[in-house]
Amino acid sequence: MISLQDKIVLITGASRGIGAATAREFVAAGARVALVARSSDALTQLAAELGAARACAISADLTDPASAARIVAQTLAMFGRADVLINNAGIGYRAALLRARPDQIAQVFGVNVFGALALTQHVARQMQTQGGGHVINILTTASRIPIPFQGIYGASKAAFEMLTDTLRIELARSQVVVTGIYPGTVATTFNQNALREGETAAILEEYRADTSVQAVAHAIMRAAQQRPRATWLSGRGRRYVIASVLFPTWLDARMAETRDALEPPPPQTWDHLFKNS
């Protein structure tokens, strides 16, 4: 098991939720953290809570092309190296695909894919010069299953998942390890803060939180110590992923039921996924 004592851990989306809890876990384990988020006030408060010797706050918008280089430069100026990168920042989007707005699609991909990749490129290059490091990406089962009204979000995370798996292979010779974390549905404000287009705000009971913030943060910290290929926290999510491979027609019908629960169909609507609806 790898010691985290005095390791330098860069965490995006660190101002609240999983990011803030993860920062606390790493500091408790002896690490030092560079906290990145757009919310400067919350970041400053968290950094003060963790202590000036253990944390620094870096306010940045990952959709800004110049932010990645600045984040790395500030981390190196404060701590001199970067041992672990946790790509936790993300933005949700709840909209039917035919109602999805181009500007919002661009925003989702800007944070979830392009911003995360740009930061990873800069940090991983630094890790290569240091002789190794660890990239931990927060993924989702929504990248594997077609959840109605989350297609744009799922597509962005599917792209990020492919980048994660490819980076794992490309960086292995540089002793840079890449881990994917699949948290499940977590009790945070993520869904409430998601972009929305149309009347799809309802959240079905079965898709409510099945994982706590603290459990995810602890799993991320343990992953940094053990360096697995991937960590799955939600048994429910993993069962759906398995079903998508073994029983895809069943899953289509199941997701159509979810669609109808979120947006009930007009009377006498024909649905080819069912005999009749």
The residues assigned a catalytic role are: 153
SS3 36: strand
CB 5 within 8 A of CB 227: no
Separation of alpha carbons 218 and 83, rounded Å: 18
Residue 138 token pair: 């927060």
For residue 171, which amino acid is it?
Answer: L
Residue 155 token pair: 């597509």
Nearest CA to 258 out of 200, 209, 191 is that of 200
Q: How many CB atoms lie within 10 A of CB 239?
A: 11
Residue 187 token pair: 């009790």
Strand order in the sheet with 133-138: 55-59, 32-37, 8-12, 84-87, 133-138, 176-182, 230-232
SS3 147: coil
The 10 Å CB-count burial string (b at 16+, else e) for 102-127 is eebbebbbbbbbbbbbbbbebbbebb
Place of tokens 């027609």: 249
